Amino acid sequence: MEQHPGHRPDGAVGHPVYEMLPATTQDIETASCGTGLRLNLGNNDRIVYCHLTSRSVGNGVSVPAGQLVGRSGNTGTNTPHLHVEIRTGDGLIRCPQRLLLAIYDGAARPAVRTLPTSGCTLG
C-alpha cells in the first residue's frame, strides 16, 4: 500500500471518531480515501478523516469539538485504520499528532499552521 502523509493509528473497524476542533463539514469524500469526511476549520484549513465505515454527520453541518463524526474502518484499504490529516490553505499536509496530544493532555493547542509536515507515524 502506498504511504501518504497523515496520522494513521491502527484500529479495529467501528471505533468512534470524534472531531478535534470546532469545524463545519465541507464535503463527503468517497474516492481516494474510501469513505471519508472533510471538515473546514476556517482560514482554508481542513481536517480529513479517511477509511471510515460510517459517517455520523451530514454535509454543511457545524460540528463542535468532541462530537462523534464517524466510525473507523477499512474502506479503500484492507487494513483497518483511521487516516487523519490537516490540509492547510497553503497546500501543505500537516501531521495532527501534536494537536491530538495537546487535546488529550488538556494543554494549549498549537496553531494548525505550526504543526509539522513530516514526522508522522504511518501505519
Give 86-97 pLDDT, tens digit per residue: 888 888 888 787
- Report the alpha-carbon distance of residue 47 to residue 95 in Å, rounded: 10
Distance CA 72, CA 102 (A): 22
DSSP lists the bridge partners of residue 54 as: 71
**C-alpha to C-alpha distance for 76 and 51, rounded to whole angstroms:** 6
What integer best gives the mean pLDDT of the chain?
79
Q: For 13-27, what is the mean pLDDT?
A: 88
Q: Per-residue pLDDT averaged across 38-44, rounded?
A: 89
pLDDT in tens, 79-88: 787 888 888 8
* pTM for this model (two decimals): 0.80
Confidence (pLDDT) at 2 = 44
pLDDT for 73 beyond 60? yes
Sheet with 36-42, strands from edge to edge, namely 62-63, 23-29, 36-42, 45-50, 83-87, 93-94
